[in-house]
Amino acid sequence: MTDSKNTSGVDGGDAVVSAFNAVGADYIFCSSGSEWAPVWESLARRHRDGEPAPTYLDLTHETVAVGMATGYGLVKRRPQGVLLHAAPGLLQGSMAVHGALLAGVPMVVTSSESTTYGDAPGHDPGGQWYRNLSIVGGPHNIAQPFTKWANEAASVHTLPTMISRAAELSWRAPQGPAYLNIPLEILLEPWDGREAKPIVAPGSTHSSPEEVDPVAQMIREAKNPVIVTETIGREAGGFEALVAFAEAWNIPVVEPDSAVCGNFPRTHPLHAGTDIGPWMDTADLILLVNCRVPFYPPSRKPSKAKIVVIDQVPQRPHVVYQVLFADTYLEGNAANTLRQLAKRAKDLNETEVAERVAAQEARFAAEQAAVAQAETRAAASEGVDPVQVATLLRKLLEGKDGIVVDETITHSKVVKRHVRTDAPDSYFYVQGGLGQGIAVALGVKLAAPERPVVFTVGDGAFAYNPVIQSYDASKAYGIPVLIVVFNNRVYKSMNLNHRRFYPEGAAAETGEWLGQDLTRLPRLAGFAEPFGLHTETVDTTDALLPALERALKAVEEGTTAVVDVLVTR
């Protein structure tokens, strides 16, 4: 602890704000609860007196608060503060907190409880805690399965350092949310003004030359190596390091459908698509670069390939079942490891390199031709094909340094294949469950205000989102994004599974397909109208491009736009 100029006599609320200052949080994302009056009073006093404080956002749903912190953290890669309400607020936001864990986003999530239930002298916490807000064992116990670390601040004197400890833990690999239960009585307790020391960025770990050199030799001796990655683009400098590594050794890169972000330019000649299947029997070396779950089913082992795992924390504690079949691990910082390996790309067998380059050129040319054919067919279709939507988004974003946040299910492959992002931090797939995407997109835009942000979503996933509360946040804080709904009026993935499991079942016989119909939903763009947002509904190919152009122009002028596209499939 260090001395501070803070006035003696302030309470735990000011300790919280002081701690988030020390953490370096730009924002406190809050879904309001009655316990946070001490924090609000501290912020009001600091604003009045011109003292530093993170920017506070008043949000009206827990998923919006956590989702915006997730989106912001995906770009900024630093822990932010999230305030939720008691155990119920934590439970309401738990899916989004779990999504942040899967996405590897650092943040400090807090909520509260009562420890005295009105039986102690001093401030009365209120009967709601005694009657219905508290959970046996405290909310930190229920947070443990979906956070990296969960604990309770038991004293106002340790509160600032507990917050900074939570931030430091969340920031270190594997990055993810940490949770702190701060009882209301601690927030109301007088604080002596001692602050936590400001935290610094984590140090970097490195694989030693003794570990890297043998792997470089394995690559040198391989005739048909392949790189598979899911999350290297999430690391600072990881996207660029993978490009340099792949180019130095001329190794194709596969981004499987499980990729959670853009890791490698989809326009690059070494991009080898999304399917590892063709490599399972032909590759003699597979380099898993930040690839958590490369094989499905997990027992599906490559027939002859040696497997090198390059990942700072390859065994992810939050993954219930994980099979990598590793022969070698390089466990230092992955971007640094790739840079080390790129420097060792010497004394290559030029004949073998030329053969694999030629093979990859053929694969890439075939994929380019297939993409072009799909786009030609889509443009000629009678209704609006999803491929046409993705294609026009790509063209509209060309040269604009755009970011795509994707929460489609049925159309996720279409979005990735035809939008074809090719820059760092240009594509993110929402993790952990449907219904968070609008908030994540808002958080991404908050972190990158100069870049256009497009959120792609199906009508089913759109209906899971806290739409009203997300629009409120967009309007209140001037965060404009383009929302494009791929609306096929059905829960297509549910229907596909029903047909797959019971191809000749009763539903197939009678046509009674349950759990899938979305035709009863109202016009989705209409929810934005009360907020004065730009809305479009499109059901013809001729209307699609003008609608998207108008919507993107509205976003550039500062207003969120919603385009509900009635697609054919």
Instruction: Return the HEC string of 34-75.
Output: HHHHHHHHHHHHHHHHCCCCCEEEEECCHHHHHHHHHHHHHH
Three-class DSSP category at 156: coil
Considering the domain architecture, whether residues 256 and 337 belong to the same structural domain is answered as: yes
The predicted structure's pLDDT at residue 2: 44
Range of the domain at 34: 12-188
C-alpha separations of 448 from 50, 103, 261, 426, 451 in Å: 26, 18, 16, 11, 6
Q: How sure is the predictor about 9, in pLDDT bands with cuts at 50, 70 and 90?
A: low
Residue 130, exposed/middle/buried by CB under 10 A (0-12, 13-18, 19+)?
Answer: middle
pLDDT digits (tens, 9 = 90+) for 450-476: 999 999 999 999 999 999 999 999 999
Whether residue 418 is contained in a domain is answered as yes
Average pLDDT, the chain: 94
Sheet containing 55-59: which strands, arranged edge to edge? 55-59, 27-31, 80-83, 107-111, 177-181, 149-152
The predicted structure's pLDDT at residue 495: 86
Alpha-helix residue ranges (DSSP H) falling in 381-513: 386-397, 412-419, 437-447, 459-464, 467-477, 492-501, 506-510
Token couple for 498:
């029903």
Whether residue 388 is contained in a domain is answered as yes
The predicted structure's pLDDT at residue 1: 38
Token couple for 70:
């997730």
Q: How sure is the predictor about 295, in pLDDT bands with cuts at 50, 70 and 90?
A: very high
Considering the domain architecture, whether residues 147 and 37 belong to the same structural domain is answered as: yes
Of residues 345 and 523, more confidence is placed in 345
> Of 122, 154, 188, which residue is a domain's last?
188
Question: Most distant CA pair in the chain: distance in Å?
Answer: 83
Tell me which of 178-182, 290-294, 490-494 is least confident: 490-494
Residue identified by tokens 């490891």 is: 337
Considering the domain architecture, whether residues 354 and 497 belong to the same structural domain is answered as: no
Tell me which of 82-91, 160-169, 509-518 is least confident: 509-518
Q: In the predicted model, what is the mean pLDDT of residues 307-331?
A: 95
pLDDT at residue 363 tops 70: yes
The predicted structure's pLDDT at residue 466: 97
The predicted structure's pLDDT at residue 7: 52
User: Which amino acid would we find at residue 224?
Assistant: N
CB atoms within 10 A of CB 86: 23
Considering the domain architecture, whether residues 391 and 539 belong to the same structural domain is answered as: yes
Token couple for 82:
């999230």
> Of 329, 363, 397, which residue is a domain's last?
363
pLDDT digits (tens, 9 = 90+) for 106-126: 999 999 999 999 899 888 888
pLDDT over 90 percentage in the chain: 88
Number of domains the chain contains? 3
The predicted structure's pLDDT at residue 4: 44
Considering the domain architecture, whether residues 213 and 178 belong to the same structural domain is answered as: no
Considering the domain architecture, whether residues 22 and 154 belong to the same structural domain is answered as: yes
The predicted structure's pLDDT at residue 520: 85
Considering the domain architecture, whether residues 357 and 405 belong to the same structural domain is answered as: no
Of residues 419 and 128, more confidence is placed in 419
The predicted structure's pLDDT at residue 485: 97
pLDDT at residue 3 tops 80: no
pLDDT digits (tens, 9 = 90+) for 422-442: 999 999 999 999 999 999 999
Residues 6+ apart with CB under 8 A from 44: none
The predicted structure's pLDDT at residue 518: 85
Q: In the predicted model, what is the mean pLDDT of residues 172-184?
A: 96
> Of 300, 334, 363, which residue is a domain's last?
363
Considering the domain architecture, whether residues 551 and 403 belong to the same structural domain is answered as: yes
Q: In the predicted model, what is the mean pLDDT of residues 155-160?
A: 95
**Eight-class DSSP state of 204:** P
**Eight-class DSSP state of 524:** G
Whether residue 5 is contained in a domain is answered as no
Considering the domain architecture, whether residues 107 and 242 belong to the same structural domain is answered as: no
The predicted structure's pLDDT at residue 196: 82
DSSP labels, 472-510: HHHHHHT---EEEEEE-SB-HHHHHHHHHH-TTSHHHHH
DSSP labels, 210-244: HHHHHHHHHHHH-SSEEEEESSGGGSTTHHHHHHH
Whether residue 108 is contained in a domain is answered as yes
Whether residue 199 is contained in a domain is answered as no
CA 4 to chain centre: 37
Give the CATH number for residue 562: 3.40.50.970
Token couple for 76:
């900024």
Q: How sure is the predictor about 6, in pLDDT bands with cuts at 50, 70 and 90?
A: very low
